[in-house]
Amino acid sequence: MPQKELNIRNKKARFEYHLEDIYQAGIQLSGTEIKSIRNGKASILESYCIYNNGEVWIRNMHITEYENGSFYNHKPRADRKLLLNKKEIDKIEKFLKTKGNTLIPLKLFLSEKGWVKVEIACAIGKKLHDKRQDLKEKDDKREMDRALKR
């Protein structure tokens, strides 16, 4: 059975943050959550990750209730546990102890085995002048591409 491509991304992440380390993590999900995600009914735009008692959790990730899920349905914005190795969790804990550092999800995807995974990144927030510089570089690149096309 061919798997359809899952393309749920956090497009603002690279604009808002300097990305340091990137990890791939599994997510602990229930049956109706996985069905909604495979239908593309999830959003990670406003979500972030936290470290709590030796575990990493994703907060504020919205997964729409499954339309055929009767009373077994899940809560749309519940905290969900991320599945990482102990070494990765220790690195993340050490990174998050510094003020201004955060852990954000970049994209949600299906692995080759059909498991839902999330790509998370250790990030540092950008200042306003950094964002302006990125926009300027993007505009310059667009102008160069237009000039080369002519």
pLDDT in tens, 50-77: 999 999 999 999 988 887 777 778 788 8
pLDDT in tens, 20-44: 999 999 999 888 888 888 888 889 9
Q: Kindly report the CA angle at 11 between 14 and 115, in degrees rounded to 5?
A: 105
Burial of 61 per CB tally in 10 Å (0-12, 13-18, 19+): buried
pLDDT of residue 126: 86
The whole-angstrom separation of Cα 9 and Cα 53 is: 28
Structural domains of the chain in order of their starting residue, each with its CATH number? 8-149 (2.40.280.10)
pTM: 0.80
